[in-house]
Chains A and B, each alone.
Chain A
Amino acid sequence: MNYLYFLYIQFLLNHNIPKIFGDITFPFIPFCIVAAMIIFVVLVLVLLERKVLALFTQRKGPNRVGPWGMFQTIADAIKLLCKQNIDILGSDKFLFNIAPIVVFVPVMMLWGIIPYSSEFVFMNFSVSVLLYISIAALPVIGIILSGYASNSKYSLIGAMRSGAQIISYELPIMFVLLSIVALSSSMNLKDIVYSQLGEGAILCWHVFPCIVGFIIIFICMLAELNRCPFDLPEAESELVAGYNTEYSGMRFALFFLAEYALMFIMAAFLATLFWGGYLPITGKYISEIFFSDNQFLPVFIYFEQFFWLMIKTFILVFLFMLVRATLPRLGTQSLMKLSWYLLLPLSMINFIVIIIFKYFIEGGVL
């Protein structure tokens, strides 16, 4: 971020604008970048999901609006924006209106934590992992609010299911995150990425010592996202649409946006923790080969790092979609059993194993 800040201040000074102006306006830039990225990524993701599901089920998917159906999601977004916001009789107006925002804002905050490249971190805290856990737990409040305020039994059941589900799946996530923190001796995401840097390239990624943890956290993330096979809160065969049954227009769009934005950012988070984040798969930056004598080499590297992170993220997103295309939905009781009886003990064992691994391989605990 310092590099961006430096460039920005330089740019302002060149145009004779005082530095204080730059200091005040600078925080808005990451905000705008994140907002723009969310909209763009979600539009791409929705199209991608529909295309991927179509591929798995031998259909064509959207193919009418624009080439390859490319503008379908944009058309859908415009349609959602133009739709009427229906006020539900007997609903708690204030909570009903605020619930989508409560869901969306934490998701947007999560986007600021991820290091997209070594200089492109909006919120570089020393405890970003902790911050991530805290913020990722917030959207469920909005979901429960929406279920409570909708004055609909379907919404209420959906919200309650979601609450129970997210709480029980957060614990294994924390244990897995702990083992990653132990492996990299840091809670800072950038440090975690750098701890995966080494001679072995891919082999240094945390996914190899912590493969069990990766599988656990992947399953738990599916549950946190309310995605198939854990989509009980919005199971359309029982609950119509779950907690967002009564929402329409822009409010529904916010739920929708939050869901896909969260999916993407969770995939990016997983990639950062386990797959080496923005580090190149090849072990060496490609730009170093092609632009080794260019004065803008650092800039090229930043972009390449961003590119690598996106590749890894989209592979994970693709896995999320693959799971959705394959599996039926879990039952309520087995959902709870899976978390409390299997994933939680397994993640604890995983944590212990990782600590022992760390102790023996590197000759010192933490």
Chain B
Amino acid sequence: MNKIIKLNVGPQHPSTHGVLRLITELDGEKILSVEPVVGYLHRGMEKLAENRSYLQYLPMVDRVDYLGSFFTSYAYCNAVEKLLFVEVPKRAEYIRMLCMELNRIASHLLWLGTFMLDLGASSPLFYCFRDREVILSLFEELTGQRMMYNYFVFGGVRHDVSDDWLCKVSSFIANLPKSISDYEKIITENPIFLDRTLNKGILKPQTALQFSVTGPNLRASGVEVDYRKVMPYSVYGDVDFVISESNRCDSYARYLVRIQEMKTSLDIVKQAVLYLKNNSDNYLTKINSLNLKIPEGEYTSYVESSRGLLNCYIKSDGSPKPYRVKWRTGSYYSVQVLPELVKGLNYNDLIAVFGSLDVIMPEVDR
């Protein structure tokens, strides 16, 4: 008698974070193998770029990762600026860094909420959304949008930040540590949470490197690689912060690292706000974005996004449209490594481990 159950988790499933399909083989509740099938959310982001001018493609890059729009936006703008040899004013870079770090906090907050939801706790989701809401309101005030900001432009940012807005950011970052410590109070020491995450989904540093896993997932495996630190882009070289890292390698480590990262981001935001309040400068290098003349060449920009290394490769053949745009996103590699993590675990750890990897599907499929 065949005792193995073949279970198709997804693509329509309440908690695969979008439309991921996991072909799972179960022996009882023990997972024998998992095969992720991606591509259900493919929108042809890279191909679409080839039929649009550089400026026309700009609003679309926000959709690559809808929870970290500023990261993708920065990666694209940075690549174009590098191809154009345009110098971006320091103030603009600080504004960009501020936005990216706030975005990282928002992204991690959403991850925390959904991760806890995957573990079966419904309340933290609402608490996290409450804090994320404040960030989204700040972004809305700054850019006019709550999610797809289209705020970074070639050569800087669309418009300057106001002092009033900076004050609001300061008051937000003054309040957030208390919220984070509240989350830690109900989550970090919770015996059920520990039971579900400790020694579950162990990602060995070697495996992580083999599968090119980056970002918090890699740092939770004890590999101290943060592109903000090792190859500082933007103005990350000017600010002071520590890389959060843990060598536990399990789901719990990934939780700890992300919590720590939120605090790190707060530090960076604090320094950025301080700089922006004290220094006034031009926020945009004026270039003719409508008729961009990009010389032949290619460039790969890199950003440490909330889900790992984000690359934007642009090849220009001198025409108004990019010859090729390629995105490298962190989630794609996190999905890839999932079968290694859950082999031999219980079925109810599948989603728990998957949740700890912080995967969002639009970023995987582009």
Contacts and interface: CB of A to CB of B under 8 A. Distances in A.
B119 A329 contact: yes
B15 interface: yes
A333 B5 CA distance: 19
Interface string B116-148: 111111110111001000000000000000000
B230 interface: no
A330 interface: yes
B130 to A, nearest CB: 6
A153 B118 CA distance: 20
Nearest to B119: A328
A327 B14 contact: no
A330 B195 contact: yes
A49 to B, nearest CB: 12
Contacts of A332: 29, 346-348
Interface stretch (B73-81, B155-163, B186-194, B289-297): B186-194
Contacts of A231: 120
B168 interface: no
From B26, B116, B119, B130, name the one whose CB has the most chain A CB atoms within 10 angstroms.
Answer: B119
Interface stretch (A191-199, A236-244, A283-291, A293-301): A236-244
A52 to B, nearest CB: 11
Nearest to A154: B7
A123 B196 CA distance: 44
Interface residues of B, dominant DSSP: helix
Contacts, number: 87
A53 interface: yes
A325 interface: yes
Contact of B192 (A161, A235, A240, A330): A330
What bracket does the count of chain A residues touching chain B fall in?
20 to 34
A56 B347 CA distance: 30
A334 B352 CA distance: 15
A93 interface: no
A326 interface: yes
B121 A327 contact: yes
B185 to A, nearest CB: 11
A352 B288 CA distance: 86
B116 to A, nearest CB: 6
B123 A325 contact: yes
Nearest to A337: B195
A342 B26 CA distance: 29
Interface string A129-147: 0000000000000000000
A58 interface: yes
A328 B193 contact: yes
Interface in A31-66: 53, 56-59
Interface in B309-363: 346-352, 355
Interface of A: 53, 56-59, 153-154, 157, 161, 228-229, 231-232, 235-238, 240, 324-334
Nearest 9 pairs of A and B residues by beta carbon = A329-B120, A57-B126, A328-B121, A237-B15, A328-B119, A237-B118, A328-B120, A237-B351, A334-B195
